[in-house]
Structure 1
Amino acid sequence: MFKRSTISLQGGALCAALLVSGCANHMSQRSEHEERVERKLLDHSLQIDVGEPQALELPQRRIRIREQKTFEITEFEVTRHYDRYTPYQPWREVYEIPLGAVAVVAGVGANVLNVIMLGRLPDSVTKDWINYGVAGLNPFMNVQSNGRAQQNLAGVDDVQKDKRLEHTSLPWSERPVEVQSGKQNYDLTTDRNGVLRLNLLDSPFAEQDLNRISQLKLAVEDADDSVRADATLALSPSLRGKLVEAHGLIFDDLEGQEVNQWVHRVKRLSDLGLEEEASELEQSLIELTRNDPELQQQFLKSLVKDAGRLVADPGA
């Protein structure tokens, strides 16, 4: 008795499994197409261009830093295939069976009429009505329905279309640069164009005695890829001798000094070959005397007469 019950249960389970697997109404396969691009980094480097001449003769220098990468670009065309089916819902048989009977009768009639009309009726009338009716009459299958359709991934085709090398060279934009000056290390930052504007008469170098510093060491690093670049910029002996005097000419207090002393400071910077610094000091003094037109005119005339400067009258 026990054996017979066990065999019956197993047979019932097998029939149920076959029944469930046969309930789904399989539909035409659907495919999706897309393109996929893979980028593989082959080379990554940083380049520091300290400019010319190699030895720094003036206190200001623009140093360009670039980041270079080489990629292997592979393009693929990807096609995904999906098996589609209409899941079985028993309660739909309440209306599908009678509709199926009507569809079978209509399909048979359409096929008879198609013979008379010499095959002029479309397949959607002659064949699809019959298929719909047969599926509707089957109590273990629902008719096809795009609105209820479900899908499973059946396979993926990955076809390579192209493979090439791509080189990029971008500025080290707004990124840190480490500058070593003697025993001091300074963390500076490039601008959006990857240019480090070095000025030895400006902070933080202005607070350091550079007379005994023969070179500056620059370093940039990308910690993500462990890429680093180093460069050295020499300071000429003549520049080191000028820096101390130039610092005093630029930063010593201007208040309480006579016009001739202002003119001397501008002229001396120009004589040292620091024309850019001389022009900046000159413009600062013109702006300082903006609210005293008489003093400003005296300063401008003295610049032309005693220093040989060509300056424009700001009031003209």
Structure 2
Amino acid sequence: MFKRSPPCLGGAILCGTLLMSGCANQMSQRSEHEERVERKLTEHVLQVDMGEPQTLELPQRRVRIHEFKTFEVKEFDVTRHYDRYTPYQPWREIYEIPLGAVAVVAGIGANIANVVAFGHLPDSMTKDWLSYGLAGLNPFMNAPSHGRAQQNLAGIDEVQRDSRIEKSNLPWNERPVLVKAGSETHELSTDRNGVLRLNLLDSPFAEQDLSRVTRLYVSVEDDQDNTHGDATLPISSTLRGKLLEAHALIYDDLEDDEVSQWVHRVKRLSELGLEEQASELEQSLIDMTRNDPQLQHELIKSLARDAGRLVALPN
């Protein structure tokens, strides 16, 4: 019985492997272009503006908070290069080999005709037909196909186009602010314009004894990079002496008082220099008596006579 020698067996296995795996048909390289912008934060400052005067003389104050950022901006033109190829599939040789033979014959004919035409025939006839035909005749390679093409990233080229410095100044809008008053720390929030409205006669300060608190500490922090900003606001001794009395005038029960006591509260707040609080209390009393026109009229008359305050009758 005939036995195949090992070298012959190895050659057969090698040919079979080549036939099954085949070769990828390399195609023309493809490139993609895009622009990339790189922004690098180089400076970040949170500025707390406590306003004027430097010492708090009135219970209310508007604190403005701004965020300053400096960026180094670089613009790049980026080009990505891709190697394209047609993956090998053995069963396609069934139709590619005869088509390749036809394409080779057509390509040879086109090149002969191109000599007669003095080189005016397009490359798609003289070169591409031949290339397609030779690839089709090769049993270990498929003809190039754009529909089946695959690609791998071959390289990236970056060219810097521009470099500049950008600065931004934005309000610390609707962001948290910590205010420390004595042993208490309160978390408040700015409005859409980055303004924090402090009022020592309003919550949460109204529930705290501020007579021994000499200053307020205001601080903000950006959690992303731990940038801090802080400032202090001294409270005048005169204001601290007024706060306790003013708190009683505003928040003590109004229901059991007489009209004269209401007027006294408004007048006393005005005498303490707290005109904003006096006007707010006055308006609250007007609203409270709107269902009793006679009582409301008496209140308005007493405010004008005893406190010198002119209040227009509500519509």
The verdict on a shared fold, with TM-score over 0.5 as the criterion, is: yes
Corresponding residue for 2:201? 201
Using the TM superposition, give the Cα deviation of residue 273 of structure 1 relative to its aligned residue in structure 2, in angstroms: 1.3
Residue 12 of structure 1 deviates from its aligned partner by 7.2
Q: Which moved more, 1:287-296 or 1:214-223?
A: 214-223
Q: What amino acid is aligned across from residue 197 of structure 1 in structure 2?
A: R
In the alignment, what sits opposite 1:314?
A: 314
- Equivalence map 1:23-38=2 (5 Å): 23-38=23-38
Read off the aligned partner of 1:40 and give its amino acid letter: K
Q: 2:102 is paired with a residue of what secondary structure?
A: helix
Map 1:58-207 to 2 at 5 A: 58-207=58-207
Give the AA of the match of 2:282: E
The CA distance in 1 between the partners of 2:212 and 2:272, in whole Å, is 19
Compute the displacement of 1:107 (Å): 2.4
Name 2:215's counterpart in structure 1.
215
| Equivalence for 1:239 | 239
Counterparts of 1:174 and 1:36, CA distance in 2: 32
Distance 2:110 2:8 in 1: 48
Write out per-residue CA displacement over residues 234-260 of structure 1, whole angstroms, 9 at most, x where no aligned residue.
111221121111111111111122222
- SS across alignment from 2:52: coil
- Distance apart, 1:306 and its partner CA: 2.6
Aligned-pair CA distance for 1:37: 2.1
**Residue type matched to 1:91 in 2?**
W
- After superposition, the Cα gap between the structure-2 partners of 1:14 and 1:72, relative to the gap in structure 1 and judged at 3 Å, is farther
1:186 to partner: Cα distance: 2.1
Query: Structure 1 residue 277: deviation in Å?
Result: 0.7
> In structure 2, the residue corresponding to 1:27 is in which secondary structure?
strand
Answer yes or no: is the 8 Å Cα contact 2:36–2:77 preserved in 1. yes
Task: In structure 2, give the amino acid aligned to 1:127.
Answer: K
Output the amino acid matched with 1:211: S
**Judging changes above 3 Å, is the alpha-carbon distance between structure 1 residues 30 and 246 closer, same or farther for their aligned structure 2 residues?**
same
Bigger mean CA offset, 38-47 vs 280-289: 38-47
222-231 or 149-158, larger mean C-alpha shift: 222-231
What amino acid maps onto 1:202 in structure 2? D
Counterpart CA distance in 2 for 1:212 and 1:160 is: 61
How many residues align structurally?
A: 311
Amino acid at match of 2:126: T
Shift of 1:7: 10
Q: TM-score, normalised by structure 2?
A: 0.90
For the structure 1 residues 153 and 7, does the alpha-carbon distance in structure 2 shift closer, same or farther, using more than 3 Å as the test?
farther
RMSD: 2.4
Post-superposition offset of 1:15: 7.1
Q: What are the Cα deviations for residues 117-163 of structure 1, in whole angstroms up to 9, with x where unaligned?
A: 44443222232222222221122211110011111111111211222
Q: SS state of the match for residue 262, structure 1?
A: helix
For the residue of structure 2 that corresponds to 1:143, the secondary structure is coil
SS in 2 for 1:302: helix
Higher alpha-carbon deviation: 17-26 or 230-239: 17-26
More displaced stretch, 78-87 vs 187-196:
187-196
Work out the percentage of aligned pairs sharing the same amino acid.
70
Q: Is 2:21–2:88's contact at 8 Å kept on the other side of the alignment?
A: no
1:259 alignment counterpart: 259
- Matches of 1:285 and 1:136 in 2, distance apart? 98
2:108 match: secondary structure: helix
Work out the CA distance in 1 between the residues paired with 2:16 and 2:164.
Answer: 56
Code of the aligned partner of 2:60:
Q
Residues 155-198 of structure 1, C-alpha deviations (whole Å, 9 max, x = no match): 11121122222222222233332222222222222223222211
State the SS of the aligned residue for 1:244. helix
State how far apart, in whole Å, the 2-side matches of 1:307 and 1:218 are.
Answer: 37
- Tell me by how many angstroms 1:8 deviates: 7.2
1:274 aligns with: 274
Structure 2, unaligned stretches of length 5 or more? none
Change (3 A) 1:8 1:69: farther
Change (3 A) 1:153 1:13: farther
Q: Which moved more, 1:16-25 or 1:269-278?
A: 16-25
TM-score normalised by structure 1 residue count: 0.89
SS at match of 2:314: coil
